[in-house]
Structure formats: structure tokens, C-alpha cells
Structure 1
Amino acid sequence: MLAAFNGHTQVVTMLLEKGADVTASTNWGKTALDWAEKEGHSDTATILRVHS
């Protein structure tokens, strides 16, 4: 989630390749995709959308 929040596309890609759960959410119900979009990281958000 932190990688998505900060727009680290390479880290997000690696984590997804290793089986990270793209639907995991915070205590507030926010997913990595939510955070990427909120922070304006469109490339990261696109990667997460493809894997969701």
C-alpha cells in the first residue's frame, strides 16, 4: 500500500508478481488503488486496475 501511495510503480509491479493481494484494504477501507488515485499516481493506478 505504501508503494502505491508513493507511486513506486516498479515496487507495485514486483509485489503483484509475487502475489500481493490487490484487494487488501486499510482499517478505513482504502485499497492501494484508492491511495494511488488519491495521490495522483495514474501509472500506478493503471497497474493496480489491470490486476484487480
Structure 2
Amino acid sequence: MKARYMFEVYASEYADQSVVLHGKERLTVYRTYGPKDNDKIEVYAGQRVGNR
């Protein structure tokens, strides 16, 4: 899966969700990074075949 989106969210707002809705797209979370010094987590998501 190619990196399509990277979202930065506060750690307190992210609870290991595996799916992200972005507009009309349903994206699968495949990697997270953090929390960083600013208490944010980078959430990487993209589309998989059959995940629309």
C-alpha cells in the first residue's frame, strides 16, 4: 500500500481505530507514529482493494 494520507491528531483523540473516513473515502490505517513532543500522533492511511 502506498502512502496516501498522513493525519496528525492529538493522542487523546485517537484510540487505535483501523478505519478513517475522509470525505467520501474509507481509508485503512496501516501505520501510526508518536506521540510526539506536541502530544500528536501521525496516522498514515490509504485505500486497499475492496475497502470502499
TM-score tier (shorter): under 0.3
Higher Rg of the two aligned structures: 2
More helix by share: 1
TM-score with structure 2 setting the length = 0.26
Structure with more of its chain in strand, by fraction = 2
